Amino acid sequence: MGWAVRRSEGMRDAATVMVVRDAPDLEVLMLRRHLNADFVGGAYVFPGGAVDDADRSIAQQERTVGLTDAEASALLDVESGGLGFWAAAVRETFEEARILLARDASGAPVDVSGDAAARFADHRRTLDEGATSLPAFLAAEDLVVDAGDLHMFSHWITPVGMPRRYDTWFFVARAPEGQSALHDDTETIASVWVTPAEAVASARRGERRIIFPTLRNLDAIGRFSTSDELLDAVSSATSIPTVQPRIVSDAAGMRLLLPGDPGYDEYESPPEGSIDPMTAADLDRGSSA
């Protein structure tokens, strides 16, 4: 599926979610990372993070409807464990943004406010601390993840040369009715609903720090006027290419190349771990540092 990529032994699987709503134009939820974060401190990102073992467990598969692990793995072109990307997307969105992409036994979206607010706040805290797992939390509340609520959108792999590399699937999900986002004040320090066009424009003006893959995905969803248009398009997508930028450094400076760019297949990739992550985070296609 897509372009051939180089996958290193230490690469981690990850999932991130573009949670969208209409207000009335299409808006997407973005979180600002803590200024002291190890990587891209202060940047505006979508909720997301690494897939953990519990996300791929049999217990989690039993708490997921709409896709089996075999079906999810086939969609992602992996041998097994594909459903873990959906689980990680749900878990990280709840931990970081308080948006719970889950359903109750009747199939209705979950209400995490009102009388249930304190209970779900405790669940969120224990998940974030690692004191419980997503399947244990879902079982305690008799909830399920409906894989049909999360739509595959894009697939990005961190360039060779970075000290920390991820194989990341971007998903799109509609914001559940009645839920409000709230950053966690640990990994993230602000949350904002913003139109994709304004997010990109603010980054170009230097008002928000947004890294290249995030910008590209904002550009892509910004072609749609409403969440219905976007979700209709992604639900009918049949092929999602893999994008692995390449960092090159020559007389023109350091910059990113994408598959299909002139010279992409000609440059030698830098050694693993040789690129400063803060420098690379701010690279753009055709920019230099």
The three-state secondary structure class of 69 is: helix
Q: Which pTM was predicted?
A: 0.91
Q: Cα separations (Å) of 261 from 5, 92, 173, 251?
A: 15, 33, 31, 17
Nearest alpha-carbon partner for 95 in 31, 148, 154: 31
SS (H, E, C) 186-241: CCEEEEEEECHHHHHHHHHCCCCCCCHHHHHHHHHHCCCCCHHHHHHHHHCCCCCC
Nearest alpha-carbon partner for 194 in 41, 23, 34: 23
Using one digit for the tens of pLDDT, what is the confidence trace for 52-89? 999 999 999 999 999 999 999 999 999 999 999 999 99
Residues in the chain: 289
The three-state secondary structure class of 114 is: helix
**Token pair for residue 141?**
């509340």
Q: Which domains are present in the chain?
A: 12-240 (3.90.79.10)
Instruction: Give the distance from CA 74 to its chain's centroid.
Output: 20
The DSSP symbol for 178 reads T
Radius of gyration of the chain (CA): 19
**Token pair for residue 160?**
């060779």
Find where tokens 């007389």 sit.
251
Q: Is the separation of the CB atoms in 160 and 8 below 8 Å?
A: yes
In angstroms, the CA 247 to CA 50 distance is 23
Give pLDDT, residue 57.
98
Using one digit for the tens of pLDDT, what is the confidence trace for 187-223? 889 999 999 999 999 999 999 999 999 999 999 999 9
What does the pLDDT profile of the chain (289 residues) look like in tens digits?
A: 333 344 445 689 999 999 999 999 999 999 998 876 666 778 899 999 999 999 999 999 999 999 999 999 999 999 999 999 999 999 999 999 999 999 998 999 998 988 899 999 999 999 999 999 999 999 999 999 999 999 999 999 988 888 788 999 999 999 999 898 989 888 889 999 999 999 999 999 999 999 999 999 999 999 999 999 999 999 887 789 899 998 887 777 778 888 888 888 887 777 776 776 666 666 765 554 4
| Phi, psi (deg, nearest 5) at residue 105 | -65, -25
The DSSP symbol for 103 reads B
The three-state secondary structure class of 136 is: helix
**Token pair for residue 107?**
């199939």
Half-sphere CA count of 188, side-chain side, radius 13 A: 25
Angle at which helices 69-76 and 83-97 cross, to 10°: 90
In angstroms, the CA 105 to CA 264 distance is 50
